[in-house]
Chains A and B, each alone.
Chain A
Amino acid sequence: MAALTPAGPMAPMTPPAIAAEPGGKAGRPRRIRVWRGVVLLVAAVYFLVPLIASFTFTVKDSSKGFTLDAYGQILSAEGFGKSLLLSLGLGVATIVVVLLLTLPAMLAVRLGLPKLKPILEILCTLPLVVPPITFVAGITTILQWGPDHLADTPFFQTIIAAQNPDFPVVLVLAYVILALPFVYRALDAGLGALDARTLVEAARNLGASWPHLLFRVIVPNLRSALASASFLTLALVLGEFTIASLLHYQTFPVWIYTISGSQAQVSVAVSVFSLLITWLLLLALSSAGARQRSGS
C-alpha cells in the first residue's frame, strides 16, 4: 500500500522530467523506479525502526548480551492468559453484535429506503469524531446514575451484570460503537460491488424466505467484506486502551500497561508478540480474500 500511494504526487512530476530529457523513453521508467525505491525506503524506515527498536530492547541484556528470556516470561507472567482471553472474547462478542446490527440495517436501507442512506452513514461515522475520553465520561456518568435511579427495577440487576469484571458487557457495547465506522465502510464497499437488489429479488422470486436469502445469498457473497469488517473490529478491540483502563477492566492492552511498570521488557515483548499475531491474522485474511476472488 505504502508503495502505491505516491502515484498521485508523482504523476505531475514525471512529464517535466521527460521534457527535460531528450532520450525520455529510457529515462522515464528508471526515474519512476528510483522514486518508488525512495518512497518504499521512507515508508520502511518509518514502520520498521520502532519495531526493530522494540525488538532490540526485548532481547538485549546487560550481562548476557542476546536473550529471548522476555518472550519466555510472557506465558508465565501473571494475568497474561486471562487478559488475552478476555480481550479475544470481547472481540468476538463485539464482532457478532456489530455485524448483526449493521448488515440487516444496511441491507434494508439499500433495498427499501435509499433516502435514509446518508443518515445511516453519518450515524455510523460519528464515533470517529467523538474522542474516547468523552465517550468514557458519558459511560461513567450513566453507570453511576443508573444504580441510584434503577434500584427498585429489574434493570438494576442488568446494569450490575453488564459490569461483571469477568465479562464486561458494557465494554462490548462501547466497542460496537467504536467499530461502527470501520464495519460500515467495509460492508458498504462489499454491498456496492454486489447487485444486492437483483440478487435479493431473484432469490425472493425463487421462493427464498428473508433469513434463507440472507445466509445463503448475501452472506456468502459478502464473505471478504465481512472478513475485513471482523478483522478491523478485532484489531480495534485488541488494541483499545482508554475505555477499558478508565473503567478499570483488565483487558489485554491494560494488562500490558500494568505490567510495564514492573517488567518493562516483558511488556514490550508482549507488544511485539501481539503485533505478530495481528500480522498473521491479516495475512490469513488477505489470502482468504484472494482465494475467493480467484474462485468466483
Chain B
Amino acid sequence: MNGAKVELRGLRRNFSGTTALDGLDLTIEPGELIALLGPSGCGKTTALRCVAGFEQPDEGAVLVDGSDITRVPANRRDAGMVFQSYSLFPNLSIRENVAFGLRVRKVAAAKRHARAQELLELIGLPQIGERYPHQLSGGQQQRVALARALALEPRVLLLDEPLSALDAKVRVTLREEIRRLQLSLGITTIFVTHDQEEALSMADRVAVLRAGRLEQVADPATLYDRPATAFVAEFVGTMNRIPGKLSGRTVTVLGQDLPVEGDVPATSDVEVLVRPETVIVTPDPSSEAMILVSSFRGSTSRLRVQLGDLEMLADVPGHDTVRLAPGTRVRVELVERPVLVSASSDVAAAVPVPEHDVV
C-alpha cells in the first residue's frame, strides 16, 4: 500500500456569506502526514471535506495523483476517513463495522472476515470482533474507526480531529499509534487539528490556515523556530511581544541588540516576538524585574515576570523553580539569536493572553 499525491488548487468555498476557503493551494506529497492547523473557522475541516467529497468547492480543484476528482461522488473516492465524533455503526459488531467497506464491494464473507481480523490485530485489539460499539471505550472506538478506514487500502487517509473527544492520556498514546501505522503503511495522510502540540508532534509538515488561506506550510521545527508571519508565531506555541527599536536589520530590545529575521516593518517602533524558552531569567536583587507567578510543570516552570509595565513569560528548567520563587528580583535577558518583529499593535498587554498558566 502506498500513498497518493494530493493537490488542492485554488479552493474556494462560501457558506451563505462566510468564506470558509479563500483560494487554498496546497500540495501533499505521497506518503506524507500533513497536519492542517488553525483556529476554528479557518477552513481546515472544509478543506478536508472537499478531499473526502462531502463538500464541493465553489472554485478550484482537488487532484489525486494528477487526476481531477472534484466532481467524483464521495462513495467513489479512494480515501478513508476517521471522524471527530464516534462514527461506528451502532447496529453492527466491530468485525462487521471494519468489514463494512468490503461488504459494500461484495467481497466474499470469509475473505472480509479474515481481513477484518487482520486489521483488528494491526490496531492491537484482536479479541473484540464480536463486541458492539457501545461496549467500547472512546479510544477503542476511534481505533476501530481507523481500522475501518484502512480496510479498503485507501491511498489517502483523512483524519478529522479524531482525538479531540478523548481524554489526554489516550490522546497521546493514540496519536503515536496513528503515526506508527501511517509510517509503516506509507499512506498519504491529512490530519485536521486545532491542537498545535498534536500537529507538531505527529506531522511531517504542518500547514497553518487562517481565514481560508494558507499562512505557512513547513516542517514542525521550522514552523516553531522560524514562523513566517506573526500569526503563525503566536498561534503555534506561546510568544512574548516586547517593544523594541528597529534600526536597519537590528533591533534593540531590553538593552540588547539582536539581528532581525524575516520581514522588516516600515516603522521603527516594533514589537519583538520571543518564545518563553528564549527568555533567560537570573536572580539579581538589584534588578527592577520581579517574578509574579510561577507555575511548575515538572520538567519546566513557566514564570510570569514583570518589568516596568511589561509582563512576559519565561520557561526555565524545573529544578530552578526554588531559586525563582514569586517575588524574586531577577535580571531578564534574551538568547542571542535572530528574532521576528512586527509593527507595534495597539494591544495594551505585551503578554499574550495566558491560557493555562493561571495558578
Contact = CB atoms under 8 A, between A and B. Distances in A.
Interface residues of A, number: 20
Interface string B95-134: 0000011001100000000000000000000000000101
B228 to A, nearest CB: 34
Interface of B: 52-54, 73-77, 79-81, 83, 85-91, 100-101, 104-105, 132, 134, 145, 148-149, 151-152
The 8 closest A-B pairs by CB, nearest first: A206-B101, A220-B91, A202-B87, A204-B74, A207-B104, A205-B81, A198-B87, A204-B75
A295 to B, nearest CB: 8
A203 B79 CA distance: 12
B231 to A, nearest CB: 31
Nearest to A193: B90
Contact of A206 (B90, B91, B100, B134): B100
Interface of A: 194-195, 198-199, 201-209, 212, 217, 220-221, 223, 295-296
Contacts of B85: 195, 198
Given A203-B100, A209-B104, A221-B89, 4 more contacts: A199-B87, A199-B89, A206-B101, A207-B76
Nearest to A217: B89
A221 B91 contact: yes
Nearest to B77: A205
Nearest to B79: A205
B90 A212 contact: no
A201 B91 contact: no
B89 A202 contact: yes
Contacts of B91: 217, 220-221, 223, 296
B141 to A, nearest CB: 12
12 contacts: A201-B87, A204-B75, A205-B52, A205-B77, A205-B80, A207-B75, A207-B76, A209-B75, A209-B104, A221-B89, A296-B91, A296-B134
Contacts of A201: 52, 54, 74, 81, 83, 87
Given A204-B54, A207-B75, A208-B75, A198 B83 contact: yes
Contact of B74 (A205, A221, A296): A205
Contacts of B145: 202
A220 B91 CA distance: 7
Contacts of A198: 83, 85-87
A9 B101 CA distance: 52
B6 to A, nearest CB: 15
B76 A296 contact: no
Contacts of A209: 75, 104
